[in-house]
């Protein structure tokens, strides 16, 4: 049952709906994302990359020296977020960023060290995938994948 509640704050009064049964879809998905990210980060730790870094390394490898713009579009990341994450990989010696011929675009490539880290992380990622599949089951994972695709299509 929904109850209407008034909540006071320093800026004045605002209202909100309160219920024990009301679930915030955003909070639910963000919590699940944090949990699964922690799970993969722990499994990828021996390769010294996080799940987010591994996804970047794979995307760079798949796209064959993409520009910052192309990579951001492929991963649906804002340029500032992508740049910050790439600088971290560059500082670790895993990627190289070079200016293109017209100096307007930067090409991104994996270094030898980056390719080795990606290959090591792949083995760990595959084991993590299998662990998730055993724990959750293929039917639920199929539902999760379809739901994720449907939600992403809203944006």
Are residues 34 and 100 located together in one domain of the fold? no
| Model confidence band, residue 2 (pLDDT cutoffs 50, 70, 90) | very low
Q: How many domains does the chain contain in total?
A: 2
Are residues 21 and 64 located together in one domain of the fold? no
Are residues 59 and 116 located together in one domain of the fold? yes
Structural domain of 38: 1-42
Are residues 7 and 31 located together in one domain of the fold? yes
Are residues 3 and 68 located together in one domain of the fold? no
Q: How far is CA 134 from CA 137, 139, 142, in A?
A: 6, 11, 13
Are residues 33 and 69 located together in one domain of the fold? no
104 vs 116, more confident: 116
Nearest to 67 by CA among 52, 50, 79: 79
Are residues 58 and 96 located together in one domain of the fold? yes
Would you say 75 and 59 are in contact if contact means Cβ atoms under 8 Å apart?
Answer: yes
113: Cβ contacts below 8 Å, ≥ 6 apart: 92, 93, 94
Q: What's the pLDDT tens digit per position in 42-56?
A: 999 999 999 999 999
Would you say 63 and 70 are in contact if contact means Cβ atoms under 8 Å apart?
Answer: yes
Alpha carbon distance 23, 63 (integer Å):
39
Residue 68, CB-side half-sphere exposure with 13 Å CA sphere: 19
Are residues 58 and 32 located together in one domain of the fold? no
Q: What is the pTM assigned to this prediction? A: 0.80
Nearest to 65 by CA among 106, 114, 120: 106
Are residues 63 and 113 located together in one domain of the fold? yes
Are residues 74 and 13 located together in one domain of the fold? no
| Model confidence band, residue 74 (pLDDT cutoffs 50, 70, 90) | very high
């Amino acid at each position: 049952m929904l109850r209407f509640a008034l909540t006071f704050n320093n800026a004045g009064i605002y209202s909100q709906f309160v219920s024990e049964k009301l679930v915030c879809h955003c909070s639910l998905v963000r919590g699940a994302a944090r949990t699964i990210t922690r799970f993969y980060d722990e499994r990828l730790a021996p390769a010294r990359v996080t799940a987010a870094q591994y996804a970047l390394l794979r995307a760079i490898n798949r796209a064959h020296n993409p520009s910052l713009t192309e990579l951001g579009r492929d991963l649906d990341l804002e340029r500032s977020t992508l740049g910050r994450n790439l600088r971290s990989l560059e500082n670790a010696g895993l990627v190289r960023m070079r200016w293109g011929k017209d100096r307007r675009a930067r090409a991104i490539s994996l270094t030898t060290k980056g390719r080795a880290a990606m290959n090591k992380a792949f083995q760990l990622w595959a084991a993590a995938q299998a662990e998730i599949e055993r724990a959750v089951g293929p039917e639920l994972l199929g539902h999760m994948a379809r739901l994720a695709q449907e939600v992403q299509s809203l944006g």
